[in-house]
Amino acid sequence: MGKVEEYLREEIEREGCIHLTLIDPDKLNAESAARVAKAAERVGSKAIMVGGSLGVTEGMLDSLILNLKDACSLPVILFPGDVSNISRYADAIWFLSVLNSSSTYHLIGAQVKGGIIVRKYGLEAIPLAYLILGEGGIVSYVSQTRPLPFEKAELIKAYAIAAELLGFRFLYLEGGSGSKPIPANVVSEVRKCINIPIIVGGGIKEAQIAGSLASAGANVIVTGNLVEEVRDVEKALKVIINAIKGARSKGGPISR
């Protein structure tokens, strides 16, 4: 286990549920991303994730990540949409597999190609099982995935159990950028059947939703579209993070 993963686990153990800020290099330039990162660090976000489904090159990533590291002291974790989304300047990478993709490329092909680069750059790789649920958004089209319906909880749980048994150390439940957020009851059902930390992202823009997901058993809440759309990023993130902390202070379930 590398130092970034150890740090995330320690924060989860201490707080139950933490917040990460997602920056898409195709939506925010290096200067705007640096402002977002500064705001995120001030209000208690624990790390910056960087990645996007479309239009992201390694050159874009390098410039943006260097700006981020000048702007804040939070770990920068790559959230790659493809092999081109790898930068030597990041602190770690979510080494992910889209488990419900019909494309072998997104299950293992991209990982075979990308793993060589990750090893060459000496990046810390954090094994992540990625499940796309609900509407799925653009990422479901790009990854050739049939999203798992929210109402099919037993199917989602079966995938989650398989992810844990295969040795993935985190599970990401993705609702899709700009789509409906994952219902809290889905997270609650998944929490009952696995022990690894659960990350939830996609469409989370309101404090009530973030709080309900934290109470349901999410260990990490990710917001991305929110920081692209609001004028006062610091205020918006503070509301979300306070809701997460408030939910946990009421005794919500945590990773077993």
Over residues 174-221, the pLDDT tens digits come to: 987 667 899 999 999 999 999 999 999 998 999 999 999 999 999 999
Helix (H/G/I), strand (E/B), else coil: 246: helix
The residue type at 2: G
| Residue-range domain boundaries for the chain | 3-249
Q: What is the mean pLDDT of residues 30-37?
A: 93
Burial of residue 120, with CB atoms counted within 10 A of its CB: 0-12 exposed, 13-18 middle, 19 or more buried:
exposed
- Would you list the DSSP string of 155-200? HHHHHHHHHHHTT-SEEEEE--TTSPPPPHHHHHHHHTT--S-EEE
Confidence of residue 109 (pLDDT cuts 50, 70, 90): very high
Asked if pLDDT for residue 97 goes beyond 60, the answer is: yes
Asked if pLDDT for residue 253 goes beyond 60, the answer is: no
**Confidence (pLDDT) at 47:** 98
Asked if pLDDT for residue 112 goes beyond 70, the answer is: yes
CA 141 centroid distance within chain: 18
Just give the CATH number of 3-249: 3.20.20.390
Confidence of residue 256 (pLDDT cuts 50, 70, 90): very low
